[in-house]
Amino acid sequence: MLHQTDTFRGIYPPTSYGTDQIPADKVTHLLYAFTDIVNGEVVSNSPSADFGEGVSASSAGTATGLVGKINKLKKQYRKMKVILSIGGWNYSQVKEKFPESSATEERRQRFVKSAINLMQQCGFDGIDVDWEYPQTSTEAQNFVLLLKGLREGLDAYARENAPGYHFALTVASPAGPDKYTVMDLKGMDRYLDAWHLMAYDYAGGFDPTSTGHQANLYKDPANPSSTKFNTDDAVKYYISQNIAPSKIVLGMPLYGRAFLSTAGMGKPFSGVGDGTVEQGVWNYNALPKPGAVVQFDRAIGAAWSYDAAKRELISFDTVESAVFKTNEYMKPKGLGGAMFWEASGDGTGDKSIVGAVAAQMGKLDATENLLVYPKSTFSNIRGA
């Protein structure tokens, strides 16, 4: 991610994408996604990938997996902070994860204790909660209490083990009104350092009615079926809830969503086809596909490609649209920076969206990461 003090944020999933490919010189925060929640405790979803074959989160010795490699990056790039991201879409769909783990004070404390323990074991600089999404007012209030517990727990850990250091607490936040109006944004905000606004997934195969833009800034009054959601309405609502613009981090997708057998944007379609991520989802670095023509509409801040011969449309951000969002929206509104999902989808060289946005940001957040975690059982994380 890029934090607009300027800040830039990025997200790194445990895939075949290597740590040597992370643009560590261009990001201020790296979200390590995702951890699971099992029996109310935050746990690694793949100990062998995170810590090395035969090594668990509680082992002594050396962390040789992705966690160990990322800590090497932290030592090399002192301005890159790493945030432990909990949950995500798939884990959020299981009631036993967030709803039940946050339902009582005892359960919340169990969640908090395990989350902070895993964070310090990994040698990370904060916690991100990706609960998609609270469904009721009760769940919304429990989310506030969970964040309160995390904030208090992080501060207590810092006082004892890292005096003067501030561990970040952030959330992945929705851009759909059916989601954000359920949440107690004001109550949450007092405990948060940043809101990672997921300003994407506005359209896709999950909505069978028509093709649409998946990450547009504004609605299109001339073609309303193509912009059923938009970023600007979400940002305005968050600000109306007394959330400082500087705490809102604008999410941008590093992937595109496809529609087959369609005459164009806002039109009927049939199927989504294959993809590089899943059916109908293509990494940005695989786009545009041969034969497709890329278009960009400045009036709504959205890009897409269309192959008239194949009748295939793909909605995705380009370098042009990402730079436009940065210079014509994010910076004028004083937003806190940019966030990308996810790092392995980016292009290289002059086709890198992350690099292009970073170049427009000016001065990035220069606060240093933490290298000393005295209670970690891993010798290569315990101390610098």
Catalytic site positions: 132
Rounded to the nearest angstrom, the gap between the alpha carbon of residue 333 and the centroid of all alpha carbons in its chain is 20
What letter does residue 226 receive in the DSSP assignment? G
d(CA 196, CA 189): 12
Flag whether 264 is in a domain: no
- Produce one character per residue of 129-166: b if its CB has 16 or more CB atoms within 10 Å, e if not: bbbbbbeeeebbebbbbbbbbbbebbeebeeeebeebe
Q: Is residue 312 part of a domain?
A: no
Q: Are 118 and 42 spatial neighbours (Cβ–Cβ below 8 Å)? A: yes
Number of domains in the chain: 1
User: How far is the C-alpha of 142 from the C-alpha of 111, rounded, in Å?
Assistant: 12
Question: What is the number of other CB atoms lying within 10 angstroms of the CB of residue 44?
Answer: 21
> Within a domain: residue 269?
no
Q: What's the distance, Cα to Cα, between the start and end of the chain in Å?
A: 24
pTM: 0.95
Q: Where are the beta strands (DSSP E) in 66-184?
A: 81-87, 126-130, 168-173
Q: CA-CA distance, 168 to 173, in Å (whole number)? A: 16
CA atoms within 13 A on the CB side of 178: 4
Report yes or no on 292 lying in a domain: no
Q: Classify residue 231: in a domain, yes or no.
A: yes
pLDDT digits (tens, 9 = 90+) for 20-46: 999 999 999 999 999 999 999 999 999
What pLDDT does 55 receive? 84
Range of the domain at 102: 2-254+318-382
Phi and psi based region of residue 242 (left: phi greater than 0; alpha: psi -120 to 50; beta: remaining): left
In a domain, 66, yes or no: yes
Domain annotation covers residue 64: yes
Q: What is the per-residue pLDDT across 44-100, written as a single tens digit (0 to 9) for each?
A: 999 999 999 888 877 788 999 999 999 999 999 999 999 999 999 898 988 889 999
pLDDT digits (tens, 9 = 90+) for 300-353: 999 999 999 999 999 999 999 999 999 999 999 999 999 999 999 999 999 999
* Summary mean pLDDT of the chain: 95
Q: What are phi and psi of 257, to 5 degrees?
A: -115, 130
Q: Using the structure block, give the residue that is written with the tokens 């039940």.
A: 100
* Coil vs helix vs strand at 228: coil
Which positions ≥6 away from 21 have C-beta within 8 Å? Answer: 343, 344
Residue 204, phi-psi category: left (phi > 0), alpha (psi -120 to 50), beta (remainder): left
Q: Sorting pLDDT into bands at 50, 70 and 90, what band is 384? A: low
Residue 208 falls inside a structural domain: yes
**Structure-block tokens of residue 164:** 């003067």
Residue 18 CB neighbour total at 10 angstroms: 11
Residue 6 tokens, joined: 């300027």
For residue 40, give every residue at least 6 positions away whose Cβ sits within 8 Å of its Cβ, in sequence order, or none: 100, 101, 107, 110, 111, 114
CATH code of residue 47: 3.20.20.80
Residue 274: band (very low, low, confident or very high) from pLDDT cuts 50, 70, 90: very high
